[in-house]
Amino acid sequence: MAQCIFDRIRDGDAPGHLVVDEADVIAFLDARPLFPGHTLVVPRRHVATLAELDEATASAVWDVGRRVAAALRPAVGADGAFLALNDEVSQSVAHVHLHVVPRRRKDGLRGFFWPRGRYETPEEAAKIAAAIAASLAPQS
């Protein structure tokens, strides 16, 4: 079994609420969301850092991030989104991941990644993951 938690989610060996499952990229809910709908966009192939990511996959990651950001508007009522990627420094999982965080005006977010909440139940998370997946524009 893979060591990396994101590889295990990809392989179905660890729980994860998937919102995108495409050829080169997957996306799933962050287990410690800043706000409900906070999504991680991840290259399917295990790549630890941005420097190791090939251009086509980097483009695919960014494109999925763009589409998830748009989907968060109808899915969770976001006004906008915050996209961020910790590359080595502050990167707690050694598999490239783009954070897509739903934002609302005056949502009180002062720093970038705190404070974190939790989903009340797996059902709540599943519902939000399904709403994002259903709101995604098709892959171009």
List the one residue from 18, 22, 24, 32 that touches ligand DGP (CB under 6 A).
32
Query: In the bound complex, what is the minimum distance in angstroms from residue 140's beta carbon to ligand DGP?
Result: 26
Q: Which is nearer to ligand DGP, 105 or 123 (CB)?
A: 123
Residues 6+ apart with CB under 8 A from 46: 2, 4, 6, 7, 95
Residue type, 112: F
Do you find a cis peptide bond into 115, omega within 30 degrees of 0? yes
Binding ligand DGP (rule: CB under 6 A), the pick from 1, 23, 56, 92 is 92
Torsion angles phi and psi, residue 28, rounded to 5: -150, 165
Identity of the residue, 48 or 70, whose beta carbon is nearer to ligand DGP in the bound complex: 48
The answer to whether 126 contacts ligand DGP (rule: CB under 6 A) is no
Residues 6+ apart with CB under 8 A from 90: none
Give φ, ψ of 55 to 5 degrees.
Answer: -60, -40
Task: Please report, as residue ranges, which positions from 36 to 65 form the binding site for ligand DGP (by CB under 6 A).
Answer: 40
Among 24, 66, 86, 135, binds ligand DGP (CB under 6 A): 86
Interacting residues with ligand DGP (CB under 6 A) = 5, 16, 28-32, 40, 86, 90-93
